[in-house]
């Protein structure tokens, strides 16, 4: 069949069989279109034949080339721009090679680069009516609040008007406080808003100025000065928590001055139960605020033996260790050694850091005999002998069959010192069992600029006052005291506060009472001789609630409201609303001293314990100035506080608050 002659003969044979003029005759042009049937793809249609012009829209292969319409090359325009696309293939601009369906859309050039009218050349993604192609452009096309026609909104962190300035936390007065809240995206200072941005003296960090009619600290309460009438101790400005249960942190607390000279007062906190009863003393550096764990003190001193009860008493001791160190702190350990109860006291350097044993103290004062309880109370009366070195007082209420002894020792001190070497002793009345030395304090009750000492003898309800200048040697019976404060009731003298409540230059005395409904007596400027507190006292203070006073504390903690007069603070750890088993405890602050019999419920400020059994008020006193604002602060201890476990102990510090 490869021979063409055979194919021709076969075609002739078929033609003869078909007869002349039939469409099946390959050599005959049946439709007369000029193409024989064998070449014509539609031999019966004169409009379809090879060479015919292709109609690109009729769905017919007009030119018999096997392609129909769009598949027929005859239907394509030329690719004028050489980009591989013709008009028929979707090139919407065949004169520009950068425009065809394969190209990405380039915004803002005025061209439909991808030949897709649905892809905008000037997008407005946030539908705010502004495009990134505008002049000026929309600087954030995903945020409808941001465009060139927007109004700048402060504190949102956005350039709302697209002017290029994103600093929208104004500080008009340059005081470092902007107008934004801390949660605002544009906030720069992390503080509450400045409530008056045209006055640099008014901002959230300013101290409130009482009586000026301005909300200086922006707390929303102009002239809200002074203390509120009632606080939960949980509202304290600083809450100091013991490490472990049964530590009894807050057994004793003492302001020790600004040890590190940073402008903030520092504190010493005793925890008689720490270390299995060995006791511990913690030194804390101001400023103090928020929750302060005794797990992280500046320094810690641990008792030498189990059951020493180190930290049961504390007092600042100035330069008693000599020049070049300190200031020093005096620490009592009434049951040293190991509950033998001779007792001891330690002089420690308040400027050190880290963990230490009291065995390495600058000085150790060692009791003379068993059951003497030396160190039950300690005090730092200053330099009583005029040698420029501070001296110390150490009480031993168990000495001499509980008549009691007080040792006055002259500094400087170093090493081990037996208390029987003291040059000055004060003895309790023989056979009275009055426990002299249970409490020690000092001041200037005579108003003559000389230091006076006050020695508590609570088992007979007395406080003995020795006026300065004090003796520099000898044994002195309390019968030679210039003044005696005698309660005639209860166990007065367990706690004594000294300070000048009327700014007359003479210190006044607040005497605490145990086991009685009367918790304290106030006596101004005690006179020489016997002062009967019930008759000569200016005021007496009656318990709030059904329970008598027990294990309480009193203090004159300084001038807490900055009115020029020292204030009165009374702790009532057995305070309970209905029954003794509750005993959350309480403390009471009198900013203006009352007269006559006064209920503690009428105190200017009342502080109530957080939880039942806390026994808040077990120790109260002045905290110095732990926040550095120039106003005295106070503390209320709850040695059975439960914030970190049963009787772990808690000390609450409230900053002083100047009144109107």
Q: Tell me the per-residue pLDDT of 454-485, one tens digit each, with 9 for 90 and over.
A: 999 999 999 999 999 999 999 999 999 999 99
Is the separation of the CB atoms in 166 and 185 below 8 Å? no
Is the separation of the CB atoms in 569 and 634 below 8 Å? yes
Sign of torsion over alpha carbons 355, 359, 363, 366: positive
Q: Which residues of the chain have pLDDT under 70?
A: 1-23, 69-76, 166-167, 210-211, 222-224, 489-490, 546-549, 577-581, 660
Query: How many Å from the N-terminal Cα to the C-terminal Cα in the chain?
Result: 128
Is the separation of the CB atoms in 345 and 374 below 8 Å? yes
Structure token pair of residue 488: 């005639």
Position 254 scores a pLDDT of 98
Position 208 scores a pLDDT of 74
Q: How many alpha carbons fall within 13 Å on the CB side of residue 181?
A: 3
Position 40 scores a pLDDT of 81
How crowded is residue 213: how many other Cβ atoms within 10 Å of its Cβ?
Answer: 8
Position 19 scores a pLDDT of 47
| Rounded Cα gap, residues 494 and 635, in angstroms | 19
| Rounded Cα gap, residues 406 and 454, in angstroms | 11
Residue 415, classified by CB atoms within 10 Å of its CB into exposed (0-12), middle (13-18) or buried (19+), is exposed
Position 18 scores a pLDDT of 47
Is the separation of the CB atoms in 45 and 31 below 8 Å? yes
Q: Which residues contact 355 (CB under 8 A, 6 or more apart)?
A: 299, 300, 302
Position 214 scores a pLDDT of 84
Q: Which helix (H) or strand (E) covers residue 62, if one does?
A: none
574: closest CA among 510, 623, 640, 495?
640
Sign of torsion over alpha carbons 35, 39, 44, 45: negative
- Phi, psi (deg, nearest 5) at residue 462: -130, 155
| Rounded Cα gap, residues 543 and 517, in angstroms | 6
Strand partners, 291: 239
Structure token pair of residue 192: 């509450």
| Rounded Cα gap, residues 396 and 346, in angstroms | 14
| Site of tokens 């002739």 | 12
The verdict on whether omega for the bond into residue 436 sits within 30 degrees of 0, i.e. cis, is no
| Rounded Cα gap, residues 560 and 230, in angstroms | 16
How crowded is residue 504: how many other Cβ atoms within 10 Å of its Cβ?
Answer: 12
Is the separation of the CB atoms in 504 and 480 below 8 Å? no
């Amino acid at each position: 069949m490869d021979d063409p002659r055979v194919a021709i003969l076969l075609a002739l044979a078929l033609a003869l069989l078909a007869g002349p003029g039939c469409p099946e005759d390959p050599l005959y042009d049946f439709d007369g279109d000029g193409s024989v049937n064998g070449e014509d793809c539609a031999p019966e249609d004169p409009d379809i034949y090879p060479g015919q012009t292709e109609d690109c829209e009729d769905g017919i292969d007009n030119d018999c080339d096997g392609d129909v319409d769009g598949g027929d090359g005859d239907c394509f325009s030329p690719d004028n721009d050489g980009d591989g696309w013709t008009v028929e293939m979707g090139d919407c601009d065949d004169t520009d090679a950068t425009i065809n369906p394969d190209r990405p859309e380039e915004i803002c050039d005025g061209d439909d680069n991808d030949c897709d009218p649905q892809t905008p050349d000037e997008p407005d993604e946030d539908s705010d009516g502004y495009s990134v192609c505008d002049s000026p452009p929309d600087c954030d096309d995903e945020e409808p609040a941001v465009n060139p026609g927007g109004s700048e909104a402060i504190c949102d962190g956005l350039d709302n008007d697209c002017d290029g300035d994103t600093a929208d936390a104004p500080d008009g007065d340059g005081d470092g406080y902007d107008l934004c809240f801390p949660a605002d995206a544009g906030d720069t200072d992390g503080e509450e808003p400045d409530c008056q941005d045209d006055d640099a003296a008014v901002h959230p960090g300013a101290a409130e100025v009482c009586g000026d009619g301005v909300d200086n600290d922006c707390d929303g309460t102009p002239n809200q000065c002074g203390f509120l009438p009632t606080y939960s101790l949980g509202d304290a400005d600083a809450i100091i928590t013991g490490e472990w249960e049964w530590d009894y942190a807050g057994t004793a607390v003492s302001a020790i001055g600004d040890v590190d000279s940073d402008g903030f007062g520092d504190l010493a906190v005793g925890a008689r139960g720490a270390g299995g009863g060995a006791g511990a003393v913690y030194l804390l550096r101001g400023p103090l605020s928020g929750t302060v764990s005794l797990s992280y003190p500046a320094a810690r001193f641990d008792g030498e033996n189990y059951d020493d009860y180190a930290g049961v008493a504390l007092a600042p001791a100035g330069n008693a260790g000599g020049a070049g160190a300190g200031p020093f702190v005096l620490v009592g350990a009434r049951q040293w050694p190991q509950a033998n109860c001779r007792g001891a006291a330690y002089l420690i350097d308040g400027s050190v850091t880290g963990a230490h044993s009291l065995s390495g103290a600058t000085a150790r004062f060692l009791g003379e005999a068993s059951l003497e309880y030396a160190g039950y109370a300690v005090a730092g009366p200053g330099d009583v002998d005029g040698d420029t070195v501070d001296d110390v007082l150490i009480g031993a209420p168990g000495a001499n069959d509980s008549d009691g002894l007080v040792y006055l020792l002259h500094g400087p001190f170093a090493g081990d010192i037996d208390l029987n070497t003291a040059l000055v002793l004060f003895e309790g009345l023989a056979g009275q069992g009055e426990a002299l030395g249970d409490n020690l304090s000092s001041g200037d009750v005579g108003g003559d600029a000389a230091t006076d000492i006050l020695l508590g003898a609570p088992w007979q309800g007395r406080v003995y006052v020795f006026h300065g200048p004090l003796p520099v040697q000898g044994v002195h019976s309390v019968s030679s005291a210039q003044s005696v404060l005698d309660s005639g009731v209860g166990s007065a003298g367990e706690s004594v506060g000294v300070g000048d409540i009327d700014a007359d230059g003479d210190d006044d005395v607040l005497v605490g009472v145990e086991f009685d409904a009367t918790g304290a007596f106030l006596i101004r400027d005690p006179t020489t001789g016997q002062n009967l507190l019930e008759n000569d006292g200016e005021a007496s203070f009656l318990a709030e609630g059904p329970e008598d006073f027990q294990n309480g504390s009193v203090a004159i903690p300084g001038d807490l409201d900055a009115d020029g007069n020292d204030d009165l603070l009374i702790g009532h750890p057995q305070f309970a609303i209905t029954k003794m088993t509750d005993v959350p405890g309480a403390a009471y602050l009198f900013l203006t001293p009352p007269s006559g019999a006064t209920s503690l419920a009428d105190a200017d400020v009342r502080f109530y314990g957080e939880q039942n059994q806390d026994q808040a008020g077990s120790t109260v006193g002045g905290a110095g100035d732990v926040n550095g604002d120039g106003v005295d602060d106070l503390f209320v201890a709850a040695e059975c506080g439960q914030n970190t476990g049963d009787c772990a102990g808690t000390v609450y510090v409230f900053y002083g608050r100047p009144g109107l």
